[in-house]
């Protein structure tokens, strides 16, 4: 695969003045079969060659610690079938769409979702490439369509019609899920076997001519050089089956793929046939769909490369190549996932998300990850990153031995007929610091294959203080969330303190990005002292009193109308949950407001909350012989202690201290009665109460 050097940097320097280093940007050679296909006078039907030649998948794909069985069939894996009966495409052309939807269906069944057939019609009608239904397609077109959040749809939602029909609009209601993490596997039998065992089946292609089909034993073998013309899927294998000689050559060894066809159950062996491992195409260029995505986690996709990867560009091997892309959200949206292609197997990927159109606000840095197969990947962003307006994604592609690692959409008018964006939204770089613009108005007329998936947040009902949820005391309320919550204008916030110790006090929050996604509660005091306990995620909490019990004061900006009673970020060293202990001076019958916010740059999570109406004093337990007059454990006790449990007065375990711990020097919550349980090495124990000043 010799790269063509299409562009030289020296020319660019003259015209744009961009600083670039001395490396040239190169582009991968197109697949000659594909170019021949495009230039062919005849309209062909069936399977369209891929625009690029798939790199060979390296060895090293064995299932760890296992060898492959000599026979495997996803129609019967210990009595379970992941495969639905072969369908009939009726006309020539949609084979690729039947194969892709059969493979996605099998992968969903393998994951335990038995939802029936998926719709090839949605693929054939809505792929946005230039081909009509009868003109065919390929697996990459299915990948690109699914990556656009078009399908996979239930068969019932978009039923198959063999006529040429228009794309109909679908919604998430029509889809069981989204699908991603598509592995491209080339010429590696073990990797294909692994993919079948992991995912039920894989999509591949073949050259079909009845001359090479043996109707007696339903076997097939073609080892010539004619172009592929049919898309199929593989559901299993048999290492021992021999393909009989039909007069066109015999494979050198036994072994067949169990191939699912889409010509009805009357073809072959109930719709299946058996193709030699040595066939020119079958099992060589394979697509496995490995990831099911909960459709409720994604609402939108931002992308320029609507047709996905058709080529790759970049710099020479062992140099990082960066792609940078800018999108603009239409409302406040949460970044749910980043979608990207890799061309070469074992490409190392790292990406960054910046808020805004410059680099001043880095919001996310991914782990560097070596992706074993070329293909399409969707990497979930679990951190709560909300964007309103511009944001940028930078992806670094790195490969030690391969060049041109940045997947792009190159335009082929007779294939994808792509709209290439103008400059200003896409760039590439060899340094990650100086950027070469891409665009229809530049020398680099292509789109980057980087997608951003977002979800539209749905703020909780108690996002605003006026909508605070009324809680009763002494009741544990489960399953509140601050996900998608917002900050109101002039919303109150406790003081921050940069000292680490401030995380544990009862009057401030640690400074970790400020107020980000608060929700509100209120209660009517039934005692002058309360504990307020939250559990579930890294949050921060504050208790507020307001004149006339009026919620509006807390967003008025008028500090004389409200008062902070207590605030906490981390209830203990080992526990990032926030809680308020022993808050005193409440007025029975008055309403108090509780603010719960995500800590550490706006964490989101599910949590429980409980307001404990506690007695004002608890009886002291006997501490004689255990504590020194200074309030420290005596040496005799320290020598006996194995470990120490610390509880709050409600009996909740706050933390565990190791032997030789000092009570007074520990980071136990202050100004709060604690229950200290001393566990001795001989199995005995003592319990004392403890108030740290
Ligand atoms: Ca809020
Ligand atoms: Ca916290």
The confidence score (pLDDT) of residue 17 equals 25
Cβ(325)–Cβ(423) under 8 Å?
Answer: no
Question: pLDDT band for position 216 (50/70/90)?
Answer: very high
Query: Does the pLDDT of residue 4 top 60, yes or no?
Result: no
Lowest mean pLDDT among 55-69, 214-228, 279-293, 399-413: 55-69
What's the pLDDT at 501? 64
What is the CA(515)–ligand 1 centre distance, in A? Answer: 9
Q: Is the pLDDT of residue 382 over 70?
A: yes
Q: In angstroms, what is the span from residue 352 Cα to ligand 2's centroid?
A: 25
Tell which wins on pLDDT, 459 or 691: 459
pLDDT surpassing 80 at residue 13:
no
3-state secondary structure of 553: helix
For residue 276, is pLDDT > 80?
A: yes
Residue 650 pLDDT class (50, 70, 90 cuts) = low
pLDDT tens digits for range 651-679: 666 777 888 888 877 777 776 778 788 88
Identify the pLDDT of residue 43: 66
The model's pLDDT over 340-361, given as tens digits with 9 standing for 90+, comes to 999 999 999 999 999 999 999 9
Nearest ligand to the CA atom of 598: 2
| pLDDT at residue 312, rounded to an integer | 95
Which ligand sits nearest to residue 488's alpha carbon?
1
The single residue listed with the structure tokens 């409980």 is 610
Instruction: Specify the pLDDT at position 2.
Output: 25
pLDDT-derived band at 574 (thresholds 50, 70, 90) equals confident
Percent of the chain with pLDDT over 90: 73
Distance 536 CA to ligand 2 centre (A): 10
Question: What is the whole-number distance in angstroms between the Cα of residue 337 and the centre of ligand 2?
Answer: 25
Give Rg (Cα) of the chain. Answer: 32
Query: What pairing do the DSSP bridges indicate for beta strands 347-355 and 361-365?
Result: antiparallel
pLDDT of 616 higher than 60: no
* pLDDT tens per residue across span 160-210: 999 999 999 999 999 999 999 999 999 999 999 999 999 999 999 999 999
CA of 13 to the centre of ligand 2 (A): 51
Which ligand approaches the C-alpha of residue 601 most closely?
2
- Using the mean position of ligand 2's atoms as its centre, give its distance from the Cα of residue 520 in Å: 16
Using the predicted structure, report yes or no on whether residue 457 has a pLDDT greater than 80: yes
- What predicted TM-score, i.e. pTM, was given to this entire model? 0.80
Q: In the structure, what pLDDT confidence band is assigned to residue 11 with cuts at 50, 70 and 90?
A: very low
φ and ψ at residue 95, rounded to 5 degrees = -50, -45
- How many beta carbons lie within 10 A of that of residue 607, not counting itself? 21
Strand runs labelled E in 187-320: 202-206, 213-214, 219-220, 230-238, 256-260, 272-276, 285-293, 300-302, 311-314
Question: Which ligand has the minimum distance to the alpha carbon of residue 596?
Answer: 1
How far is the centre of ligand 2, averaged over its atoms, from the C-alpha of 508 (Å)?
Answer: 11
Q: Which of 379, 408, 372 is nearest to 186 (CA)?
A: 372
> Could you please report the per-residue DSSP string of 670-688?
SSSEEEEEEEETTS-EEEE
* Average confidence (pLDDT) over 80-109: 97
Per-residue pLDDT at 254 exceeds 90: yes
Average the pLDDT over 378-390 and give the result: 94
Reply yes or no on whether the pLDDT at 87 is more than 80: yes
In this model, does residue 592 exceed pLDDT 70? yes
């Amino acid at each position: 695969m010799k790269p063509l050097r299409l562009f030289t940097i020296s020319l660019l320097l003259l015209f744009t003045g961009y600083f670039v280093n001395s490396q040239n940007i190169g582009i991968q050679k197109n697949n000659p079969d594909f170019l021949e296909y495009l230039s062919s006078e005849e309209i062909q039907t069936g399977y369209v060659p891929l625009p690029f030649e798939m790199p060979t998948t390296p060895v090293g794909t064995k299932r760890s610690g296992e060898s492959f069985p000599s026979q495997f069939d996803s129609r019967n894996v210990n009595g379970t079938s992941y495969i639905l009966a072969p369908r009939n495409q009726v006309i020539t052309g949609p084979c690729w769409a039947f194969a892709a939807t059969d493979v996605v269906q099998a992968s969903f069944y393998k994951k335990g979702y038995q939802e029936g057939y998926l719709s090839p019609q949605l693929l054939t009608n809505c792929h946005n490439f230039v081909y009509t239904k009868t003109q065919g397609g390929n697996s990459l077109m299915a990948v690109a369509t699914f990556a656009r959040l078009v399908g996979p749809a239930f068969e019932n939602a978009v039923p198959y019609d063999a006529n040429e029909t228009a794309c109909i609009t679908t919604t998430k209601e029509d889809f069981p899920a989204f699908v991603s993490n598509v592995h491209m596997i080339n010429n590696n039998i073990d990797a294909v076997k692994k993919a079948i065992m992991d995912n039920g089946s894989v999509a591949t292609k073949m050259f079909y001519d009845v001359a090479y089909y043996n109707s007696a034993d339903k076997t097939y073998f073609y080892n010539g050089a004619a172009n592929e013309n049919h898309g199929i899927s593989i559901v299993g294998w048999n290492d021992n089956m021999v393909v009989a000689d039909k007069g066109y050559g015999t494979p050198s060894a036994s072994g067949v793929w169990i191939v699912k066809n889409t010509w009805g159950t009357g073809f072959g062996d109930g719709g299946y046939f058996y193709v030699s491992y040595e066939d020119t195409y079958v099992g060589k260029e394979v697509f496995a769909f490995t990831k099911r995505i909960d459709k409720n986690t994604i609402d939108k996709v931002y992308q320029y490369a609507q047709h996905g990867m058709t080529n790759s560009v970049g710099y020479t091997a062992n140099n990082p190549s960066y792609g940078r892309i800018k999108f603009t959200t239409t409302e406040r949206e949460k970044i749910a996932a980043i979608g990207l292609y890799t061309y070469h197997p074992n490409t190392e990927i790292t990406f960054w998300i910046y808020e805004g159109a410059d680099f001043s606000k880095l919001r996310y840095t991914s782990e560097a990850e070596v992706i074993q197969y070329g293909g399409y990947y969707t990497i979930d962003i679990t951190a709560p990153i909300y964007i309103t307006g511009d944001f940028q994604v930078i992806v670094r592609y790195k490969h030690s031995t391969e060049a041109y690692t940045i997947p792009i959409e190159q335009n082929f008018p007779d294939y994808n007929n792509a709209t290439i964006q103008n400059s200003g939204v896409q760039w590439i770089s060899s340094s990650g610091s100086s950027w070469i613009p891409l665009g229809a108005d530049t020398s680099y007329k292509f789109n980057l294959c980087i997608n951003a998936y977002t979800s539209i947040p749905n703020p909780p009902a108690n996002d605003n203080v006026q909508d605070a949820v009324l809680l009763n005391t002494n009741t544990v309320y489960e399953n509140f969330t601050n996900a998608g919550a917002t900050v109101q204008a002039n919303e109150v916030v406790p003081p921050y303190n940069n000292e680490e110790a401030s995380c544990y006090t009862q009057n401030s929050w640690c400074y970790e990005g400020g107020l980000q996604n608060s929700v509100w509660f209120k209660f009517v005091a039934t005692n002058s002292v309360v504990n307020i306990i939250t559990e579930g995620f890294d949050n921060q909490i504050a208790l507020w009193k307001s004149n006339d019990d009026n919620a509006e004061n807390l967003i008025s900006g008028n500090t004389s109308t409200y008062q902070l009673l207590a605030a906490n970020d981390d209830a203990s060293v080992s526990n990032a949950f926030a809680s308020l202990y022993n808050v005193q001076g409440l007025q029975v019958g008055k309403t108090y407001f509780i603010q719960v916010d995500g800590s550490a740059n706006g964490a989101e999570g599910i949590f429980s909350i409980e307001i404990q109406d506690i007695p004002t004093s608890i009886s002291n337990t006997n501490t004689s012989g255990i504590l020194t007059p200074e309030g420290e454990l005596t040496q005799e006790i320290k020598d006996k202690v194995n470990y120490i449990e610390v509880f709050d007065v409600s009996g909740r375990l706050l933390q565990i201290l190791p032997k030789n711990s000092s009570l007074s020097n520990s980071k136990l919550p202050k100004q709060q009665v604690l229950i200290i349980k001393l566990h001795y090495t001989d199995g005995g124990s003592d319990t004392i109460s403890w108030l740290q000043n």
